[in-house]
Structure 1
């Protein structure tokens, strides 16, 4: 399959941000290009399409497009040396923007200093400022065009309670989420849970991951960590602040979980067929509401049930646009109440969607980015 066909097919899946930012920049009068640097078949097809070497494709693409501004939506994977190489070889580039909304380590912080500024989720603003990295708070958002594909569903919501996401053990990840879901599994609520039970659930894969973690940290202590930084298996291992933990789930929760994960269009459709969309932030978020699931749920008009955070009222009005909970028992009580009061459930869901589309659209975020760039040229 050639590059244009692969690109079109991939974007039609609406995975992650797809080409949502690109399209919104274009609609606002700016030329934009989307590069999916880690989609290897797509990248190789681009190299063949443009008759360039398959080594260093990303830099070749940047040289080809000659942008004024580059936004790295994945800043964790790129070294300071690569950012400096771009500045040296691509003379058109005036601003390079980083993005941070996931776990990181000191190496990532050092690399981020090479960017002109960083767009970051609320939990990371203070640590960036402490490290003298110029940053701006950036909130996740929803792409309104997704709703076009959901019209065929007819607005029928047959699923009571829906969750799709990761379950990784560890204080920085999803231990709290797992405990809440365990308690929900023991209630009489009809749950639909989709999650990939992968490396932390398989004994062999888990032991290899744990060995990799200890190997990397020994190498780090003797000054050899740099040797591992460019090995794909170790890139994520390097971001861990504690040893990986084996996920422990009760037999009952395991029977509920559907281990085929849902992403992109399939996830949005399943969510749009649900009455309540569950959310519980990873440990790395601290006391901040910051993840993208809040906007995926409200964006499709499903009621958002989310863990209470100190800044939630800045995003949505609790108990009017979304429903929050502070512990397992409150979560279960509110789910049961909402399912027994469908008119109130619908009212809150519609109010949440209205707020999301008004204040938390991708278009709003692109306008914010344009404003920041223009003020930092």
Structure 2
């Protein structure tokens, strides 16, 4: 099987990566790319690397990293192009994949994916990862193999005739090598988005917790906000959230954002780390923090979800709560019983390493793709 994974990166991460890695402009494409994927942001190239280890030919392209893509164009003798999709089309034309895996439903609309398919006679199947609510056919071709971490979404989509399958996030054990885990421990941490403009429920939850425990937060949620987001919030009657953004009590607890290996290092230095799924994830468990935190060895305290027990042993490998009050109670107990928190973190880490790594997910993906191709119903 020849598979190409086309993805995009969060712009804030790209800017942070370039601040932390000097001398990138002097590197060629391959060296620049290797530094990027070693930083292990998001899924990085974990899936394609493990699929390659299983005997497949794979390629991984980051469509919206302009500086990196420009190096590829220069080194491959391709004409200079500004549109990310045109560059990706050239990369795919040279790769000649049988399977195209895309996970950005904004840049890669159904029309654009179909346009890419029309230029790739080798292509037999389109695989799409969709983490948002709604009909995935708004985002991807009708005949795509659609993956989602959310079980309730998969059930809904299947009932609508979509070839949908649950495909959870994972952890890459290799990121633990060389992490800077020395230094002061953090009693209670939260890493991630908590903007009242985007995730008001999560913001209110954290604000309540911050009044009652030594919580430290790493986020970019209180950096300069886009005017368009402010105007849109006001037009939708969310003046309260706009005020909360500028006067949030969390600002006093907030450090800057951490990404990639720096994020994993902070998780590893955390005795307890918190998780709260965003509203659109109801009622399923499955955000990335479940696997990032447990993989790093922190004691994870997370909101109770309908299918969380399919992933971890509740209150043994992770600690759950059903309300703000219960969350406070459980975190306080863990702070008073440090050895118990450490044991839970260790059990959670063992479970993640035994069942939820990207090597496991690569095997799952291989099975799903091979079954679809064998059935003769590819996404063309």
Using the size of structure 1 for normalisation, the TM-score is 0.84
How far apart are residue 204 of structure 1 and its match? 4.1
Show the counterpart of 1:26.
52
Q: Do residues 168 (structure 1) and 195 (structure 2) align?
A: yes
Structure 2's unaligned 5+ residue stretches are 1-24, 374-380
| 1:126-145 → structure 2 map (5 Å cutoff) | 126-145=155-174
**Structure 2 CA distance, aligned partners of 1:322 and 1:157?**
23
**Structure 1 CA distance, aligned partners of 2:51 and 2:184?**
33
How far apart are residue 325 of structure 1 and its match? 0.5
Q: Do residues 347 (structure 1) and 377 (structure 2) align?
A: no
Structure 1 runs of 4+ off > 6 angstroms?
none
Q: Do residues 270 (structure 1) and 266 (structure 2) align?
A: yes
Q: 1:3-34 deviations in whole A, cap 9, x for unaligned?
A: 11221221122111111112111211111111
Q: Do residues 85 (structure 1) and 115 (structure 2) align?
A: yes
Change (3 A) 1:15 1:255: same
Please say if residues 195 and 222 of structure 2, whose CA atoms lie closer than 8 Å, have aligned partners that are also in contact. no
Show the counterpart of 2:89.
59
How far apart are residue 195 of structure 1 and its match? 1.2
Structure 1's unaligned 5+ residue stretches are 215-241
| 1:349-368 → structure 2 map (5 Å cutoff) | 349-368=345-364
Change (3 A) 1:314 1:157: farther
Show the counterpart of 1:185.
210
Question: Mean Cα displacement is larger for which, 270-279 or 249-258?
Answer: 249-258
How far apart are residue 361 of structure 1 and its match? 0.6
Show the counterpart of 1:146.
175
Show the counterpart of 1:50.
76
Once superposed, what is the RMSD of the aligned Cα atoms?
2.4
Change (3 A) 1:115 1:4: farther
Change (3 A) 1:271 1:99: same
Show the counterpart of 1:233.
none
1:355 partner SS: helix
Q: Do residues 195 (structure 1) and 219 (structure 2) align?
A: yes
Show the counterpart of 2:275.
279
Kindly tell me the number of residue pairs found equivalent between the two proteins. 340
Q: Do residues 17 (structure 1) and 43 (structure 2) align?
A: yes
**Structure 2 CA distance, aligned partners of 1:183 and 1:80?**
42
Q: Do residues 304 (structure 1) and 300 (structure 2) align?
A: yes
How far apart are residue 203 of structure 1 and its match? 8.2
Change (3 A) 1:25 1:247: farther
Change (3 A) 1:119 1:243: farther
> Of 367, 372, 380, which aligns to 1:371?
367
How far apart are residue 341 of structure 1 and its match? 0.7
Change (3 A) 1:3 1:353: same
**Structure 2 CA distance, aligned partners of 1:329 and 1:175?**
18
Change (3 A) 1:248 1:132: same
Q: Do residues 331 (structure 1) and 297 (structure 2) align?
A: no
Show the counterpart of 2:146.
118
**Structure 1 CA distance, aligned partners of 2:70 and 2:64?**
10
| 1:237-248 → structure 2 map (5 Å cutoff) | 245-246=241-242, 248=244
| 1:211-250 → structure 2 map (5 Å cutoff) | 245-246=241-242, 248=244
Q: 1:163-204 deviations in whole A, cap 9, x for unaligned?
A: 11112336xx522211111111111x22110111357x6484
**Structure 1 CA distance, aligned partners of 2:369 and 2:126?**
10
Change (3 A) 1:286 1:251: closer
How far apart are residue 127 of structure 1 and its match? 3.5
Please say if residues 113 and 140 of structure 2, whose CA atoms lie closer than 8 Å, have aligned partners that are also in contact. no
Q: Do residues 94 (structure 1) and 91 (structure 2) align?
A: no
